[in-house]
Amino acid sequence: MQAKERIIFPLDLPSFEEANRYVRLLSDHVGMFKIGLELFIRSGPGIIRTVASEGGAGVFLDLKLHDIPETVYRTVSVIADLGVTFTTVHCGESVKSLLAAVKGGGGKVHILGVTILTSVSPEDLHQSGYAKPFCSDLSGLVLKKAVMAKHAGCDGVVCSGLEVKMIKEHFGKSFIAVTPGIRPSWDGIKPDDQSRVVTPTQAIQDGADYVVIGRPIRDAGNPAEAARRIIGEIEEALSRMDA
Ligand code: C5P
């Protein structure tokens, strides 16, 4: 897979018009556009067709479902007919909803389990009642969630770049790892609300298949140029890995 194809740009934008502007600006520089709740709720499912035809890239419908199995099954059955490449379900607390998602997808959409959001810190987990060993070592919890996803037949997981190596070691190359929380080193590492961040180079070197990169591209003076710089960084990392 080429460097460009590994970049997922989230369309975290306030309007259909703005999203469309970024799609046109970045269609040659990213492999996939991610539609999240904000844009989906504002624009409806029609946005998927627009992004797919304007962008010439894949579409990732990131609704991060977290509900009872029957509701997840019914929802993913609908998503399966929208023609998107990836969709997400929280690994959550029970494998049953993940199984329902896989069944609902019927092989027509890749299902990714969201392990632990990259904005979550050990302190957050402690406050929400998780046992101490999982708060001090988040990777143990990410692994447990990934085991659930794998067991349910998901195609892969969303995890931070800090955990991607462990995921690949445990589940092998074909289990897809998508990593948000990416900050290029030249961006001065502004974490924003992300807690567990790594550079594109580190994520790719550790085995990430895809990197989700939003604000470092969206908020750059020249977003296309920022994306090109990231492609260059990923190309370098890939060529070092081939050598
Ligand atoms: O690069 P930036 O921090 O702007 O990326 C934000 C995007 O990453 C959002 O669209 C958010 O939904 C996504 N994200 C994700 N999974 C996480 C954390 C963030 O898909 N665990």
**CA torsion through residues 33, 37, 39, 44, sign:** positive
For 202-221, write each residue's pLDDT tens digit. Answer: 999 999 999 999 999 999 99
Q: In this structure, are residues 32 and 210 in contact, taking their beta carbons and an 8 Å threshold?
A: yes
Please state, rounded to an integer, the average pLDDT across all residues of the chain.
93
Cα radius of gyration (the chain): 17
For 74-113, write each residue's pLDDT tens digit. Answer: 999 999 999 999 999 999 999 999 999 999 999 999 999 9
Q: According to the model, what pLDDT value does residue 167 have?
A: 97
Residue 228 within a domain: yes
Q: What is the crossing angle of helices 138-152 and 95-105, to 10°? A: 40
* Ligand 1 center from residue 162 Cα (angstroms): 15
Give the percent of the chain with pLDDT over 70: 97
Residue 197 within a domain: yes
Residue 243 within a domain: no
β-bridge partners, 156: 112, 176
Please state the length of the chain: 243
Which residue is closest in CA terms to ligand 1's atom 21? 117
**Ligand 1 atom closest to Cα of 119?**
18
Q: According to the model, what pLDDT value does residue 191 have?
A: 66
Residues marked as catalytic: 64
Which residue is closest in CA terms to ligand 1's atom 15? 180
Q: In this structure, are residues 10 and 55 in contact, taking their beta carbons and an 8 Å threshold?
A: no
Residue 219 within a domain: yes
Give the count of domains, the chain. 1
* Ligand 1 center from residue 243 Cα (angstroms): 31
Question: Residue 119 — pLDDT band, cuts 50, 70, 90?
Answer: confident
Residue 215 within a domain: yes
Pocket probe mutation, ligand 1, options 199, 212, 215, max atoms within 8 Å of Cβ: 212
Question: Residue 118 — pLDDT band, cuts 50, 70, 90?
Answer: confident
**Ligand 1 atom closest to Cα of 114?**
21
* Ligand 1 center from residue 12 Cα (angstroms): 9
Residue 104 within a domain: yes
| More confident position, 94 or 243 | 94
> Tokens for 42?
């504002």
Distance (Å, whole) CA 109 – CA 76: 9
Residue 51 within a domain: yes
Which residue is closest in CA terms to ligand 1's atom 20? 180
- The total of other beta-carbon atoms located within 10 Å of residue 188's CB is 8
Which residue is closest in CA terms to ligand 1's atom 8? 180
Distance (Å, whole) CA 31 – CA 199: 18
Pick the closest to residue 164 from 181, 152, 183 (CA basis).
181
Q: Please state the pTM of the whole predicted model.
A: 0.93
Residues with CB under 6 A from ligand 1: 10, 12, 34, 36, 62, 117-119, 158, 180-181, 192, 194, 212-215
Q: According to the model, what pLDDT value does residue 187 have?
A: 64
For residue 56, pLDDT over 90 is answered with no
| Residue 12 region by backbone torsions, left for phi larger than 0, else alpha for psi between -120 and 50, else beta | beta
Question: Residue 194 — pLDDT band, cuts 50, 70, 90?
Answer: low
Question: Residue 166 — pLDDT band, cuts 50, 70, 90?
Answer: very high
Which residue is closest in CA terms to ligand 1's atom 14? 180
Q: Which domain holds residue 28?
A: 3-238
The CATH number assigned to the domain holding 145 equals: 3.20.20.70
Residue 48 within a domain: yes
**Ligand 1 atom closest to Cα of 215?**
4
- The total of other beta-carbon atoms located within 10 Å of residue 127's CB is 10
Q: Is residue 55 packed enough to be buried (19+ CB in 10 Å), middle (13-18) or exposed (0-12)?
A: buried
| Residue 30 region by backbone torsions, left for phi larger than 0, else alpha for psi between -120 and 50, else beta | beta
DSSP state of 182: B
Amino acid at position 179, single letter: T
Q: Is residue 216 packed enough to be buried (19+ CB in 10 Å), middle (13-18) or exposed (0-12)?
A: buried
